[in-house]
Amino acid sequence: MAAPVVTLHQLIEAGAHFGHQTHRWNPRMKPYIFGERNGIHIIDLSQTVPLFARALDFVSSTVAAGGKVLFVGTKRQAQESIAEAARRSGQHFVNHRWLGGMLTNWKTISGSIKRLKSLEEKLSGDTHGLTKKEVLQMTRERDKLELSLGGIRDMGGIPDVMFVIDVNKEEL
């Protein structure tokens, strides 16, 4: 399957040419800025299209080789979109809270994922022999783990590619 092509016209329609306010810019972005209008930088989409295609080719080849992609976006506005995009593409996501050590201490994180799976198994099976309080505590723990780890439950190791929405907020 060929990767979809993003055109200049599509990017303009989507408003991708509008950048940040001029006083919030990063000087390293200067080569990619076309100009400025009403205090907002205008991004040079003629450079964006080929770079976008290059990024798309990289991700496509990584996934084709069996690589894993992790989508990260914990801003409220992005949470649903992140989860939906990851599910649609069959990849993994973090959209609630980034846990420390999620990349550097995978051994501990995988232990928490095992705990999540075992809790789901116990709660989906027969809960006879457990008190209401025990079931409630297990349900609460499962829900808490599901919120933080549900999107990476089947990742099985560190990802090959990460998409981070708003790197300043995420502080990975």
The full set of domain ranges for the chain reads 1-66, 68-172
Q: Quick check: helix, strand or coil at residue 100?
A: coil
DSSP reduced 3-state for 45: helix
**pTM for the complete prediction?**
0.80
Question: Which amino acid appears at position 107 of this protein?
Answer: K
Mean pLDDT over the full length of the chain: 89
Q: Which distant-in-sequence residues (6+ apart) come within 8 Å of 154 by Cβ? A: 92
pLDDT at 160 over 60: yes
pLDDT at 170: 61
Question: Is pLDDT at 44 greater than 60 in this prediction?
Answer: yes
Q: In the chain, which ranges are continuous DSSP H helix?
A: 8-14, 45-64, 76-89, 106-124, 132-149, 167-170
May I ask the CATH architecture of the domain 1-66?
A: 3-Layer(aba) Sandwich (3.40)
pLDDT greater than 80 at residue 1: no
Tell me the pLDDT band of 95, cut-offs 50, 70 and 90: very high
pLDDT in tens, 119-129: 999 999 888 88
Q: Are 120 and 172 in contact (CB under 8 A)?
A: no
Could you give the angle at which helices 132-149 and 106-124 cross, rounded to 10 degrees?
140
CATH no., domain 68-172: 1.10.287.610
